[in-house]
Structure formats: C-alpha cells, structure tokens
Amino acid sequence: MNRTKKEVSTKSKSKSINRKILYIIAIVIICTMVFGIPIIINELYKKNTGYVTLWGAKEVLSYYAVILGCLLNALISICIFRKTIQNTKNQILYEKEVDDKKKKWEKVEQIIDDTLKLLEPYQYILINIDISQPVQAMKEHDNLTAVIAKMITSVDWIKAYVTPEEYTLIEPFVNQLMQLIDKETGLCNEFCELCMKSINMQMLRNGKIASEETVSNKQREILERIKQVKKGFYDLQKTDYQTLLNCRRDVFLHIYKEISIEKDFILDL
C-alpha cells in the first residue's frame, strides 16, 4: 500500500517537472519567433553582404509578420477546438451523472411508494376475521406475518440505494416512516394474536373442552378487540399516514427541483 502511494507520488512529481520543462521550452520558442527572428533579419540586412535580394528588410519583416500571424491564428484555433471538445466531453459526463442521479431517485421513490401502498391502513380495516372459520383466520394470520416482515425490511431497501450524504435528504421522511411502521406492526401483531385466539376458541368449541357460554364470551371479547384494532388503523390513516404522504411529496419536490437546477446549469455551459 505504501509502495503504491510512493509510486503514484513519484509519477505525479515527474509529470509536474515534465510539464514545467515543456512550458519553458514553449516560452523560449515563442520569444525567439516574436523577438529573435525579426532582430536576426534586421541584422542581416544591415550588413548588406552576401546574397542580394530584390526585396528589403521591410518586405521580409512584413512577410514574416503575416506568417507569424497565420501560425498564431492556427494555434489559437487549435486551442479553442481542444477546449470545445473538452467542454463538450465534460458536459456529456455531467449530464450522464445528473441522469443517473435522477434514475436512482426514481428507483428510491418507487420503493417508497410500494412501501406506502403496503402501509396504507385502510386495507387492514377491510380484513374480515371470521372467528367461526379457523382456516380463514390462519390464512389471515400468515398474510399479516408476511406483511410485518415486508414492513420491517422496507427501510433497509431504501437505505441500500442512497449514499450517507443523499440519505440526509430523505432522513426526516424515513424517520416518520419508521414511526408509522412501528405503530402498524404493533396493530398487525395484535391482529395476528386475535387470529390465533379465534382459532383456539373454535378448537375449544369443537372439542367441547370449554362451555359454550365461555367460548361465546371469549369470542365477543375477540370481536370487540378486533373493532378497536381496526379503529387504530382508521386513526393512523387520518393522521400519521396522511402526514407521511405530505412529507413524501415535499421531499421529492425538493430533490427533483435540485436535479432540474443542475440540468439547467448544464444547458448554460
């Protein structure tokens, strides 16, 4: 590990030194072309010896200035072209990053919506436990047990798709969600207990282990408790669940607004 870090550091220093050398060479070449060559031309024509030309120093310097201007324009065009390519590449990468972020949040939103559908209290109000039908009661018991397991693991699925930094955006919502899950799992567990009690009561009746009056009284207590549990679900629908829906709306409005701002920024690049 330390060796790798040293190698990376050495390579980085080597690149930095090479870059400095290139900059120095480039500066020397530019200074030579801009200042050195005109001076050399001037000095050659001052001596007025050797090969005699039909043009003077003035014409040569003008011709050299044109050539130098063309080279400069070409160099500027190349730099602009490279910069445009780099900006376009960065824009494409940034746009892909924003699109990936949006897809991630859409996936998180889908998991949350599925969880909210699972948590909708009204659906549990409609559960009809027939205390005279043990098979039906057992079926409801098994269904509710599966629902409780899904409720408990739903938050883990949400956390699996986001980073710790991204989680802070939905943390207030998740906290409310966990509170609702605790309340609903409590009611569902009570429903399960009532299902088992209704099954036991029916077995006592069928086996004539307890008197008819005792079984009837117990079943009335079970029915009354079922009504209270359903009222608990009704109250959650009107209070906690509605508050959670509003919180979900506000959280994702904020998230998608931030993504929209990032997309607008890309268009302005």
Burial class (CB in 10 A: 0-12, 13-18, 19+), 121: buried
Q: Which of 37-46, 131-140, 180-189, 244-253 has the highest mean pLDDT?
A: 244-253
- Report how far Cα 93 is from the mean position of its chain's Cα atoms: 16
pLDDT at 1: 42
15-24, 107-116, 243-252: segment of lowest average pLDDT: 15-24
pLDDT at 179: 92
Q: How far is CA 147 from CA 161, 186, 195, in A?
A: 22, 12, 15
Contacts of 154 (CB under 8 A, 6+ apart): 111, 114, 115, 118, 177, 181
Q: Which band of pLDDT confidence, cut at 50, 70 and 90, is reported for residue 8?
A: very low
- Report how far Cα 114 is from the mean position of its chain's Cα atoms: 18
Q: How far apart are CA 177 and CA 246, in angstroms?
A: 12
Whether the per-residue pLDDT at 267 is higher than 60: the answer is no
Q: Which of 36-40, 213-217, 236-240 has the highest mean pLDDT?
A: 236-240
Q: How far apart are CA 231 and CA 254, in angstroms?
A: 34
Q: How far apart are CA 111 and CA 64, in angstroms?
A: 70
Q: How far apart are CA 160 and CA 53, in angstroms?
A: 81
Whether the per-residue pLDDT at 203 is higher than 60: the answer is yes
Q: What is this structure's pTM?
A: 0.64
Burial class (CB in 10 A: 0-12, 13-18, 19+), 48: exposed
Could you tell me which of 120, 254, 269 has the C-alpha nearest to residue 184?
120
Evaluate whether the domain defined by 97-268 bears CATH number 1.20.120: yes
pLDDT at 266: 63
Taking residues 128-146, report their average pLDDT. Answer: 72
Whether the per-residue pLDDT at 123 is higher than 90: the answer is no
